[in-house]
Structure 1
């Protein structure tokens, strides 16, 4: 879209038209699907500002009296750039948008700014910046009684746009970030049925960087969380949750011991294996924002290994033919040496014939890791005319596991860790440099697929390598080898089996991802608008790449947190055979559908914007 040079109001109107247009097209498609499934009853419509049922100023004041300063009128900082995109403060804003902590601290922003043709980050009308569970209860009751669209945001990391919605009331849990360790935790109602375990209890708004600091750096334990340090704890757990070392410790949801959650009736419930076990199961991978507002979580603390480490190298093949062979060598090597609890993270295949290895390990010394990788490096070195290895003295590194997430001066100087650069920012606000790309970006397309471990059998590996090569001709392909539990310990797989995640994860060796995005952009801001034409070209290329993958794995499931916004078969793709059970939990705890997110449990009953119920 070309920017308007009229008034601020006209620019605001264009942004609203952009969002409404998306809603109309996608909503119409969902209405057709819904009507095909069942004849709609009388539609239930939530209220918007200006509607007769929208709460009066008096009613909002009553909510304010209940929650005090926690009730805030929301405005996106981006509004200031609509009329004056060349001002210094606007330039500074677009620099700040690359800081994930800045994004997380702004009630009117989300970690991604949108997805072309899907959604644009839009602020709620009001937010309850909850400081405690009582604030959440007040917000939930107010939304239910006044028929409001309710949104929940913690860390704000949602590629699907589920942590924002215009014309809504937001429950923002970011300030609920207390962290406390317990040496002998037993869940409520489990006394006499479960042995005490070491655990950490965290508020729903806590970020993984701060949890790792408390549990690992300070206390010498390990908690299975996310690879990205600025992701919110509650959102990750409810999505299932993978971290760099999930091949050893399983899903983050698999380590959940207990959750406190406010359900749609405004009741504060404890959910664990002994109390409300069906709700507990649904919270473990059933998707954030669908079953209630999680306010507190207690997670198992595992024993910390001696070392964590990383392997980084880039290999450039001199031709497409040699790149095809290199992929086969890598797949063989992975199956024989890396399909075990020691290894995780990514191998990326680029369409310029580059193979990039960005892997991590746990429980091995640097010398032990070198022994593991030596056969692969020897194979590559034998044909120097075919493969060029990028030299790095830090190709294989290992550190004390306790210092892995600590922002030491050594890691800062070498660029291994980045810090929140705002004046006065807490020292614990750290993140991996690679995660800066996600901050404020606008997605063009995103696809994922579980790859079953059967593809690594002797008679299947070459077929897999050929399919990956064919896909890489169209777009970059990443194998997230920690996001698949094949090769994990039996106890980690058993814990994952007792979650709502698609059972396909149990037998997958990797999650394959194809994605494209651009740096921070926003419709209506001159000089900073999304590149629509580029986005469409990229989506087509991703589609061609994934078509090659689906020849090999037709009907492959995908990960709810990293998936295609437009996936028409999302119920099967995200949850497989678990969806019917999840829907039953939804019906029990939220029968009227107060909690709605795009492609969340029960969302097929609603219009795409969550304002009109059809069934």
Structure 2
């Protein structure tokens, strides 16, 4: 299943000896100091840093454990915007046998690149681990670490459009393109509001509106319409970044091009602290819409035939720039359709599905347990909470806290992500040859058998097979694994459980259930990837314990990324789980 429907509210994972061992690996086996160790900064050292950054340094706390903030926290703990506003919390709460959301030793609420440059220089001198957070959604735990200095960019959230952007250092005569300057702390709803709702242009961002723009692009960045507009990384035109030496650099295809390339999918936080991004914007399609429905088969044979027909239908009618999002496959012979489309009206969208509807209607082995539904709406209103309110639609949920920006909205299904406790999370790109007639039945069998172990989803927008040549060419010039160019979908197999943040009433960690979930996920992954041995994985949505992660995330680009790391961060100031080292 996809992350929006599968991952449940989370529980804090107590710090196990295993987790401590993993944390030592992540932080460089003693590279960084711990409180109490010789050389750990004194209060005077921290105070000196605080003065240098204008008093924007503080000690973060879990608001659920602070009597002064507990009532407010309990009232808002399912609000992604509230959680993102708390430097002592993270959007993802924990990962079984890996990490738990833990406040840092100090947090810098940065307001400028100079604030960040000062902090990076100070941390390098004092051997304090750095953690970078914009949105706080990292499944790999990169958004938090105890005994660290958290660089929190949330206040750096401006979004400004420009009609004819030309990168710094570009050759004379370089034509300008429509673009948007986006602060590192902006969430995608900030960008969608400024660029689409207000500006009438399209910007390629994430499906979840509270995801941070910087981490999204640094990890590669798939949106709902990546087959149409490319990845977030491939639309990045320029970035301002603070590197390990404390320099503020403006990088693009003309200035520090290798660093710029590395930032386009090289893994969040591995090469520096991004402070501003400039993204290409696109002409906005007239309409954006959705398709949903649930099909139920009455026998195992019928289920296998249904899966094969859905894959065939996707290949013939939907594997193109208009379509994205997912189909979910379940062990009870059920398939959930959760697709989005752009550039089509109601009639065109329904026509694309009519062959499948006719096929189902002609066979009594199938029924719609949730009726088929397809609807388009004006693209400019897709991220406009007022539109949904005015039309009595309940897909979107506002940030209803007093004083919150009126445009802040999250998708109703995404509320389940708050504080997620992951039992297991895996992903695999599936190559296009699996859709050929001679391979399709084998793929369908693998999907059916894997879904019996653990329900999962194929995310068709997270593979670029079916995209235009221009889209593919731009994606080819990023650090992502080139497998993505030929992948028709990303399979995501994941599970999470009924858990809570530390301090939430009823918090209980069920290790036995978590282990069963992890085991089921690994069995499903093993079965599915028999048809795609050695399949690559998507950095931002992948296994904490990913085997051969360099090859999985970056493929043939791994050695080039390692060279960029040696050049721009030779001492390993920036270290993240499964990152470039």
Shorter-chain TM-score: which interval? over 0.9
Secondary structure of the structure 2 residue equivalent to 1:336? helix
- Give me the whole-angstrom Cα distance separating, in 1, the residues matched to 2:516 and 2:75: 27
The 3-state SS of whatever aligns with 1:473 is: helix
Which of 580, 593, 610 pairs up with 2:572? 593
Match of 1:613 in 2: none
Aligned to 2:377: 399
Deviation at 1:78, TM superposition (A): 3.4
In 2, Cα distance between equivalents of 1:179 and 1:312: 32
The equivalent residue for 1:156 is 136
Structure 1, 436-445 or 191-200: larger mean CA deviation? 191-200
Q: 1-side partners of 2:245 and 2:162: how far apart?
A: 30
Counterpart for residue 484 of structure 1: 463
Aligned counterpart, 2:534: 555
Select 2:479's aligned residue among 500, 504, 515: 500
Question: Which residue is 2:127 aligned to?
Answer: 147
Do the aligned residues in 2 keep the contact of 1:522 with 1:530 (CA within 8 Å)? no
User: Are 2:562 and 1:576 aligned?
Assistant: no
Counterpart secondary structure, 2:179:
strand
Q: Offset of 1:529 from its aligned partner?
A: 2.2
Equivalent residue for 1:363?
343
Compared CA separation, residues 30 and 50, structure 1 to 2 (3 A): closer
Distance in structure 2 (CA, Å) of the matches to 1:533 and 1:30: 26
Residue 45 (structure 1) aligns with: 31
CA distance in 2, matches of 1:140, 1:123: 19
> How far 1:60 sits from its partner (Å)?
1.4
Q: Secondary structure of the equivalent of 1:584?
A: helix
SS at match of 2:275: strand
RMSD: 2.0
In 1: Cα distance, 2:140 partner to 2:26 partner: 16
How far apart in 2 are the matches of 1:217 and 1:520?
36
* 1:299 corresponding residue in structure 2: 279
How many angstroms apart in 1 are the aligned matches of 2:153 and 2:24?
32
- Does structure 2 retain, via aligned residues, the 8 Å contact 1:113–1:520? no
Q: How does 1:99-498 map to 2 (within 5 A)?
A: 99-192=79-172, 194-384=174-364, 386-392=365-371, 395-410=373-388, 413-498=392-477
SS in 2 for 1:299: strand
Counterpart position of 2:3: none
Match of 2:48 in 1: 62
Contact in 2 for aligned 1:199/1:300 (Cα 8 Å): yes
CA–CA separation in structure 2 for the residues paired with 1:424 and 1:530: 35
The answer (yes or no) to whether the contact 1:94–1:520 under 8 Å persists in 2 is no
Aligned residue for 2:321, secondary structure, equals coil
- Aligned to 1:159, what secondary structure does the other structure show? coil
Judging changes above 3 Å, is the alpha-carbon distance between structure 1 residues 389 and 498 closer, same or farther for their aligned structure 2 residues? same
What TM-score comes out, normalization by structure 1 length? 0.89
How big is the shift at 1:125? Answer: 0.7
Query: How far did 1:573 drift?
Result: 0.8
2:5 is aligned to none
Return closer, same or farther for 1:26/1:403 CA change in 2, 3 Å cut-off.
same
Deviation, 1:90, is 5.2
- What TM-score, normalized to structure 2? 0.94
Structure 1, residues 106-140: CA drift from partner, whole Å, max 9, x if none? 01111011011110001111111001111111111
Between the aligned partners of 1:57 and 1:471, the Cα distance in structure 2 is: 54
**Superposed displacement of residue 58, structure 1:** 1.8
Report the CA distance between 1:443 and its aligned residue: 0.5
Q: Which runs of no fewer than 5 residues in structure 1 stay unpaired?
A: 1-14, 35-42, 82-87, 603-615
The total of aligned residue pairs comes to 569
CA contact under 8 A between 1:98 and 1:520: conserved in structure 2?
Answer: no
1:209, 1:230 within 8 Å by CA — same for their partners in 2? yes
Q: What is the Cα deviation at residue 433 of structure 1?
A: 1.1
